[in-house]
Amino acid sequence: RTKLGARLRVTEEEVKRVLDVKYQGGSVEEEIHSRHILIKVGDTAGPMQVNALRTKAWELWDKVNQPGADFGKLAEEFSDDVGTDVGGDLGFMRRWMLDPTFARTLWPMTKAGAISPVIQTPFGFHIIQFLERRMAKARDPRYVQQMVRALLTEQQFIKLYGAWIAELKASHHIEIRLR
């Protein structure tokens, strides 16, 4: 590798070309804007308490799905999540930022204003409202650039290694004896 390493040359133009073609100039990720209502389930809740909270969540789901219901106002009134913005707004989130069950429910939703069924996560019971979807650049385009550079360097190394082996075979006598 030391002998070949000096011959490795990945140019900025090559990196930029790959970034532009494959990663739209720095990689993009899908983000979804949503809000939710959380009915929190405590760590020490027993089966009867969990069932009562599930019933409460489904009753709230019925309210949310009434014609003219305001999801934001219901979230402010009933949600146990104090960490969200006004109206249960979660803002734009990337899939890897969410609980897997939450993400599996949210990601297939496509219609703005769509309401999920009640789901359970380790935090409690959720009712999710899908608002919008967008593509956004990765948080750190430098990481994508480093990844592309490493990939191009590896590909170049493999080509140079193959050429070096072919050169060695051509310039040396190799004899393989089977007994």
Q: How many CA atoms lie within 13 A of 140 on its CB side?
A: 4
pLDDT band at 55 (very low <50, low <70, confident <90, very high): very high
pLDDT over threshold 70, residue 92: yes
pLDDT over threshold 70, residue 103: yes
Most confident listed range (22-26, 105-109, 111-115, 144-148) = 111-115
Please compute the mean of the pLDDT values over residues 36-40 and round it to a whole number: 97
Closest CA to 138 of 32, 23, 28: 28
Please compute the mean of the pLDDT values over residues 143-148 and round it to a whole number: 66
**Per-residue confidence (pLDDT) for residue 22, from 0 to 100:** 64
Closest CA to 102 of 84, 127, 83, 80: 127
Enumerate long-range contacts of 150-154, CB under 8 Å, 24 or more apart: 151/18, 152/10, 152/14, 152/15, 152/18, 153/8, 153/10
Give 133's contacts (C-beta < 8 A, 6+ positions apart): 30, 31, 32, 33, 110
**Per-residue confidence (pLDDT) for residue 29, from 0 to 100:** 66
Reported pTM: 0.64
Q: How far apart are CA 118 and CA 124, in angstroms?
A: 10
Enumerate long-range contacts of 105-112, CB under 8 Å, 24 or more apart: 106/32, 106/34, 106/130, 107/32, 109/32
